Amino acid sequence: MEDSHGGRRRRPAEGTGAPGSHFQRSVAAVSSPALSVARLTLPGIMDAEGRVDESRLRMHIFKNGGVCPSERGLVWSFLFGMYPCSSTALQRSLLQEQMTERYRVMKRKWQQFLPLAVRMHLNGTDAELVAAVSYFDQREALAQQQTHEQSEEVRERLAFLELQAQILFERVTFDEEELREATRIIDKDVARTNRDLSYYQGEGSANLLVLRDILITYAAFHPEVSYAQGMNDLCSRFLEVLNSEVDAYWSFCCYMEKFSKDFRADGLHRKIELEAALLKELDPQLYTHLVTNSMDSFTFCHRWLLLGFQREFEHSDALRLFEILSCDHLELISQQVDQARYKERLAQKCRTEDNSESQLQAINTDFTFELFICAAILLENREFLLRCRDEVQLIQFTSSLQGNSGNCTAR
């Protein structure tokens, strides 16, 4: 998208969870206590005390193609596991305070360990990041002021939670070399995060530094995963939608508990193998063409599967697709169907005299929904792909899809 001067036009952010936040440009809050007591208006999903019917919520997301932006923040807090669906509003309010103090203790621990990494090192040529530091400092000063304005009762309660967090993380140690290296890569990637979003413009540019702190905290306390390229784009989604440093951190942690393996070579390789097998089943001709022309490594699918098609669709559509993929509705239904078929096989076995095996096929739940989305994009563009003769043309193909998969096919 270009403006009249030939430059890239900024698109408004459509992912934040509060009404009227499409043009949000303020700095994310440290914590968002109001979210814990907010109510979903989706019919039949939340009871009077605030408990959520998880099955209905996931079904609603899938069948309605995501949720409206005004409820997205609250929905994500349940969808990605930051709040248990069985929790009441009162329990979530207490949980919010606990998560906030734990995050603060964790962040302060790595900052004391690497004091020179507290501030992002700038070369002075990126005016937006230079301004972001100033906005970020203002936000930190405001947070300190709000802390001093709390009542004595609140301060005492939070002090107790802080002490608990300090005890919890007291024995955590860091590998200095690994954490420095992770911070170095994070600094590079944060600067490359999609600044076309209005969420990162103006005063909101400080959100890049909030994102940085979240990623370093995650890397410090998850050394077995640390940081890998692409995590900045994933975490950016949570920060934009939840607009809270604490909430974004814990939601990102919950997401990574399930998908961190995708950032390892073996995990992504397995997904690529499954994608190749799926395409071979759905379109043998296209699969054979890719193999014959040495294009069967499917490296062009890596980013799609790793980032959930974040850059292949318009921003608002990509957020909705991310919700749909994350609701696991089809996977849950597949498991239920597989269980039903297993019971049917047992019943048939009992009815037959020779105990012969049932012809019912078990469902392979390894073939998750995003693999079918990936295959659908390939099939939609099969005529173009059949004309490709080398990897260079495939790269051109993937570039042509950025932001366009929901609207058109490659030419």
DSSP symbol at 323: H
273 token code pair? 């193998």
3-class secondary structure, 102: helix
Q: What share of the chain is helix, strand, coil (3-state, %, to 5)?
A: 65, 0, 35
CA terminus-to-terminus distance, the chain: 18
Distance separating alpha carbons of residues 306 and 260, to the nearest angstrom = 10
Residue 80's closest CA among 258, 211, 309?
A: 258
3-class secondary structure, 29: strand
Buried b (16+ CB within 10 A) or exposed e, 238-266: bbbbbbbbbbbbbbbbbbbeeebebbeee
Distance separating alpha carbons of residues 103 and 394, to the nearest angstrom = 43
Adjacent-strand bridge partners of 11: 197
Distance separating alpha carbons of residues 252 and 326, to the nearest angstrom = 12
Which H/E stretch holds residue 273?
A: helix 265-282
> Amino acid identity, residue 292?
T
Residue 384's closest CA among 374, 397, 401?
A: 397
> Amino acid identity, residue 313?
F
3-class secondary structure, 383: helix
Residue 210: alpha-carbon gap to chain centroid: 16
360 token code pair? 């019912």
Task: Check the CA dihedral 193-28-80-158 and report its sign.
Answer: positive
DSSP symbol at 88: -
Residue 179 · residue 113 · CB < 8 Å: yes
Distance separating alpha carbons of residues 121 and 117, to the nearest angstrom = 8
3-class secondary structure, 244: strand
- The count of other CB atoms within 10 Å of the CB of residue 90 is 12
* pLDDT the model gives residue 1: 42
| Tally of helices (H runs) and strands (E runs) in the chain | 18, 0
- The count of other CB atoms within 10 Å of the CB of residue 213 is 20
Residue 215's closest CA among 244, 236, 191?
A: 236
Task: Check the CA dihedral 192-193-197-200 and report its sign.
Answer: negative
DSSP symbol at 117: G
Residue 183 · residue 117 · CB < 8 Å: yes
Residue 260 · residue 225 · CB < 8 Å: yes
Burial category of 188 from C-beta neighbours within 10 Å (exposed 0-12, middle 13-18, buried 19 and up): exposed
* pLDDT the model gives residue 267: 84
DSSP symbol at 2: B
Distance separating alpha carbons of residues 228 and 250, to the nearest angstrom = 18
103 token code pair? 């995050």
For 17-151, where are the alpha helices, taking DSSP H only?
33-37, 54-63, 69-79, 89-113, 127-148
Mind listing the pLDDT tens digit of every residue in the chain (411 residues)? 434 333 433 444 444 444 334 444 678 988 888 888 888 888 889 999 999 999 899 999 999 999 999 999 999 999 999 999 999 999 999 999 999 999 999 999 999 999 999 999 887 778 888 888 888 888 888 887 777 778 888 889 999 999 999 999 999 999 999 999 999 999 999 998 988 898 998 889 999 999 999 999 999 999 999 999 999 999 999 999 999 999 999 999 999 998 898 888 888 889 899 999 999 999 999 999 999 988 888 877 888 888 888 888 889 999 999 999 998 865 555 455 455 555 665 666 666 655 445 455 555 778 888 999 999 999 999 999 999 888 888 888 887 776 666 554 444
Distance separating alpha carbons of residues 217 and 221, to the nearest angstrom = 6
Distance separating alpha carbons of residues 54 and 280, to the nearest angstrom = 35
